[in-house]
Structure 1
């Protein structure tokens, strides 16, 4: 009886061993097949250039538009875009993604400037490894990036200032909302805006606050601004979420007579302009930024030298233009 049990146990062990061996052999074959497929793909796709686009915030509409523009241009020029970014705005995460991207050795990298010396060093590291870097949306002028593609942010601030002075009745106490005190593009927009307002008699900037690129932050800061500073009759927002947030803050403070000016053309901003709640917005063209960046890389890959700055025009979007179906471009 015991011999039978031993024999049965031995048979079971042999079967189990055979099954494990078969699975191992099958797995090895599959791995070999995958390796062959990867080698074949690499051989077939040597002409395809892989470009990494690192967004400030992964699902932000502005960056999704830029991705679309880059994808469309890449499809025509034999490139592939690998799009990535933090779930929420977080510059340290952008730095980590840049570092990981360099390690992956793509053919080029598109990044937003974040005005950080360590970031400059990473860009230099990429250049040293033969990976071209182009900044988009915000520049990193102190780095070794090859080119910047985006808005002339100081000029956009000037454009906002001229628009406001033209619209107002010769005077105005102005509150300003910037997206971030650290962002170079926000600093330049404010600088350009100040240059116009300071030269316009009857106009005064009485408060400048940061929304932290958040609609909720803009709403809270706008409400606080109106309660703490008397006589503000105009509030200007310089990042995409500011106009919607400022509008909420104005309503919470029961100061509906305040005139609001925004930046970019999110759907909420467009609706508020159509309803007369926001006066106008200075609109960037992120899709064109993405496309232009890819066209520049195409020139670079063909041996052409790039100029350092490539500005994409902004335009004014107001109620009149929307009613007549125009974009102001």
Structure 2
């Protein structure tokens, strides 16, 4: 009996040993490799451009430039936003973009506490990079990766150079702007005021023009009443240009006055063509859109890290009333 048990056990060991050797031999002689890791570059990125002025030609051009660059970069791209500077809807769009976990947000900067909270806290918590375009918010307030757009301080200086060429080095200037200026408008105003410091014979007066047509008309009326010798008007917000001109025309001729503004709004080209504006600062919205997408993709691909926090400046130039905007 003992011999039978020993025989059975030996037979089992022999069989198990045979199959073990066979399995090891197959493993050693087979050609195999680990599954290749999925490259993150193969995942199509998705970025969103958000503005509160979807209805303006300026922002349509920003969108066109961004969309063209997104196609070249093979990245998913959408334009979101609000109309007529509806800030509540605009901020809601920014929040939705962050909650939907897009890869990057390119946004018209909005120097408000609500926007800063979204940029500094929510975007940071989700790890979503933000690039401001056209309108900046200081990096210490927003933690944005970079800014793409005009040097607004230099734009103010350039506009003042044109005014000095037209008017000379003496006279009276009225600057019209909202009581709550956007960051870009404050920079423009600072650039103009700094340029005027070397011209003591020029007097500049800042008058708040509010945010509505009625307030803008009242501001123009007040300027004419209180400063009858005014030589030039500079409008920080071109959306108010037409109503201000109508108010001036109801009192006197437009012709004696020099009138200047910036190209952010929809009336710029038309007012220049009509000869009602003497000159305007023209920016490069298509270039802004394209460059912002390019820099976002460079950051997402770790090609340029960190991005230049000082920003990437696009071209500006003076367009006079006798010229034509493209």
Secondary structure of the equivalent of 2:280?
strand
> Which residue of structure 1 aligns with residue 308 of structure 2?
307
Deviations 1:246-289 (A, max 9, x none): 32222122242211112117674334334432111011111111
Give the conservation status (yes or no) of the 8 Å contact 2:58–2:264.
no
Task: Return 258-267 or 280-289, whichever deviates more.
Answer: 258-267
Is the contact made by 1:177 and 1:235 (CA closer than 8 Å) also made in structure 2? yes
Q: Distance in 2 between matches of 1:68 and 1:220?
A: 37
Native 8 Å contact 1:149 1:312 kept in 2? yes
Distance 1:320 1:259 in 2: 14
Name the SS of the counterpart of 1:186 in structure 2.
helix
Q: Which residue of 1 aligns with 2:50?
A: 54
Aligned match for 1:241, one of 239, 242, 250: 239
C-alpha spacing 1:79/1:210, structure 2 compared with 1 (3 Å): farther
- C-alpha distance after superposition, 1:151-183 (max 9, x if no partner): 111111111111111211332211112256231
Local SS of the residue matching 1:241? helix
Of 124, 129, 133, 1:127 maps to 124
1:5 matched to which residue of 2?
Answer: none
For 1:233 and 1:194, the matched residues in 2 are separated by 16
1:282–1:315 Cα contact (<8 Å) kept: yes
Give the greater-gyration-radius structure (CA): 2
For 2:142, what is the secondary structure of its paired residue? Answer: coil
The total of aligned residue pairs comes to 279
Say if 1:129 and 1:189 are closer, same or farther in 2 by CA, change over 3 A. Answer: same
1:42-95 superposed Cα distances (whole Å, 9 cap, x missing partner): xxx963322111112221222111111111111111123221212221323322
1:109 is aligned to 105
TM-score scaled by length of structure 2: 0.78
The alignment partner of 2:238 has SS state of coil
User: What is the TM-score normalised by the length of structure 1?
Assistant: 0.77
- Note if 1:153 corresponds to 2:121: no
**RMSD of equivalent CA atoms:** 2.3
Partners of 1:110 and 1:265 in 2: how far apart?
A: 18
Gaps of 5+ in 2: 1-40
Distance in 2 (CA, whole Å) between partners of 1:130 and 1:266 is 33
Q: Secondary structure at the match of 2:229?
A: coil
How do 1:1-329 residues align onto structure 2 when only pairs under 5 Å count? 47-124=43-120, 125-141=122-138, 142-178=141-177, 181-212=180-211, 218-256=216-254, 257-264=256-263, 268-303=267-302, 304-305=304-305, 306-308=307-309, 309-322=311-324
Counterpart in the other structure of 1:35: none
Give the whole-Å Cα distance in 1 for the aligned partners of 2:238 and 2:126.
35
Structure of greater relative contact order (alpha carbons < 8 Å, 6+ residues apart): 2
Does the CA-based 8 Å contact 1:71-1:80 persist in structure 2? no
The verdict on how the C-alpha distance between 1:104 and 1:220 changes in structure 2, with shifts beyond 3 A counting, is: same
Aligned position for 2:24: none
SS in structure 2 at match of 1:162 = helix
Q: Distance in 2 between matches of 1:139 and 1:266?
A: 17
- For structure 1, list consecutive stretches of 5 or more residues without a partner in the other structure: 1-44
Contact 1:262 1:282 in 2 (8 A): yes
